[in-house]
A and B are shown apart, each in its own frame.
Chain A
Amino acid sequence: MTRNWLLGAASSLTVLALASVPAMAQTKFDFWYGLSGDLSDRIQEMCEDFNASQSDYEIVCTSQNDYDTNLQNTIAAFRANKQPTISQIFDAGTLDLMLSQAYLPIKDLMSQNGYDIDWSNYFSGIASYYSTSKGELLSMPFNSSTAMIYYNTDALAKVGFEGLPTTWTQVEDVARKMKAAGYECPVAFDAAGVWQWYEQFSAIHNQPIATLGNGFGGLDAEMAASKGLFVDQLTWIKKMYDEGLFINKSKETGETELDSFANGHCQVFSGSVAGHGSVTAKAIPELHWDVAMLPMMEGHERTNSLVGGASLWTLKGKTEEEYKGAAAFFNFLATPKQAEWWSTVTGYIPVTNTGFEAMKANGFYDAAPYKGREKAIESLTFTPPTENTRGIRLGNYASIRAEMVKTIQDVLFNNKPVKESLEAFDAKGNEILRRFQATYKDAQLP
């Protein structure tokens, strides 16, 4: 009896040991990201594909719902030494990561693991956002986008406009005619869209968001919103809002800008090219629409727009094996096939020159529903990045963005004077920046 039991136990142990041998060889590592819904499903698919493509590593991909939460959770996990190997961090969190001492530069990671990546192949406007001031890329560009403007082409035709407006004066003109033609909401506007209405506006007009090249020159940069063209632009937005040509559309009113456009309620809206897929999916059947680069103010030269979205950071404190896995995953992402798949199923743009050229050659951009997305690349690469357009390198920038949302709402809904409000915004932003600087007293900007 006892002998039998012992035998049984021994044999099941042997079976267990045998079964766990292949599993031991596979290294598991974590990837946390801040996307949800459809985009999260796409990432899960991507992870499954990676796991199926090789047998040495297993990536475990976990959605943390949104960018903010992912950054919070990554920090909390890092402090408890339970961090994932890879975390997806949004554009506004870039400097917070850079000074954290918590990451491995992507260049080192890839070269140490024997991958030879042609970094110059990455669009310079994308790479510069995630690079040191000396041009060393720190994180892997991932889901990248830029701001665009979407037009209902039927509404444009109805008011007799041919083509797509390229200046804000033209937008004003068509909006007024649309209103006269009975469209209740010519242009949807959400103050939360600081990224497209303020940051991207500043970039394409080559206006500084902050001094020292938007902070690339050092932690003592100061906000510059009240000193440039944005004063005029916000004054104009206020005028448009008061005239009923810009209509407030947001989560709080019950219909977002994108939804109001897709539902045919609003005729124009400005947002990320990543929304291109969503508009396609949500558009009511009779909607005819097109997308264009952000309009310019009359009489100004266009410069490149900023990349938005997020990049992938490799965090310190993991094993060599896990880093090998992470490098293999990054290499997998960079394959042309994978890059094209990702751009197809989301609205995000390819991040490399060759990726883009390959897609162009395949005829990806020639027909609906992807036609128009190439304009995002055009906007991003319109000029080589200037001091004001290579990115935003400001500490706690998410807070500063939130202050800008408040400022715009104050101007629009409370009739606060534009110039004074923007001066107050700059002062508030400077306080946030000085506090960040004091927190990282001895840190050097890489």
Chain B
Amino acid sequence: MKAYLSVFRMRWKMELQYRGAVIGGIVCQMFFGLILVSLYRALYAGKPQALPIEAVASYVWLQQAFFRMQLSSDSELMDKIRTGSIAYDLCRPLDLYGYYYARILAQKLLGSLLRAGPMLLFAFLLPRGVGITAPVSLPALIAALLCLILGLLCTCALENITMAFTMRTLDSRGVQAMLNLLMVTFSGNILPLTLFPDSWQRIITLLPYAQILDAPIRLYTGQYALGEAPRVLLIQGIWTLALMGLGILLWRRHQKRLVVQGG
């Protein structure tokens, strides 16, 4: 456990190195948030919906603030496999799944924390209906935070599965792209899942993509009542365990067939 912790700490320190990039990223993300909120406001002006615009605005801002929790691809592992330096990782007396899980976790956690603070502050300062509104209640906020933590564990497990496939092919961009395909849409990043057709929502909220950010946001804005929190957390927990199990299995399998490139 101590080893994984230090992997986590190292990655954490590395993330802190690029502060300039973080600030640029935040400003960029704020701008995207403003564009999206403006669009939904224009749409609402034409045809108001049952879901209040404040909830949509909060949805957009929370999505933008925790943007870094979404799946991404770590080109470092791909380079390691291409150059053969993966051999060093294989020498470590560690389980590789845990090693990479700790790395991804640090990357996502710090990436989100660094960005979420200023982003949410900015969004709170905006006028009502444009910016983010306060959570419906304190217990709802606590439930949303719990849900967010589980969501983080779930997204890391999901990303680690795509990493496992990197070992099979030298150029894994294709496989990664295929695995992450539905992520953009069904995580609510392009269009809030709350604005999808109501009949779709029953199914897409059960997919793992919705566990990452959609579930915590719905608890925050009150789309999920507090009484539903245990059910939501249970679904998240099941997905997290299932994805981790599958990930561990795939890593074991693919590790055996890994070819260390020379030269």
Co-complex (A, B): no
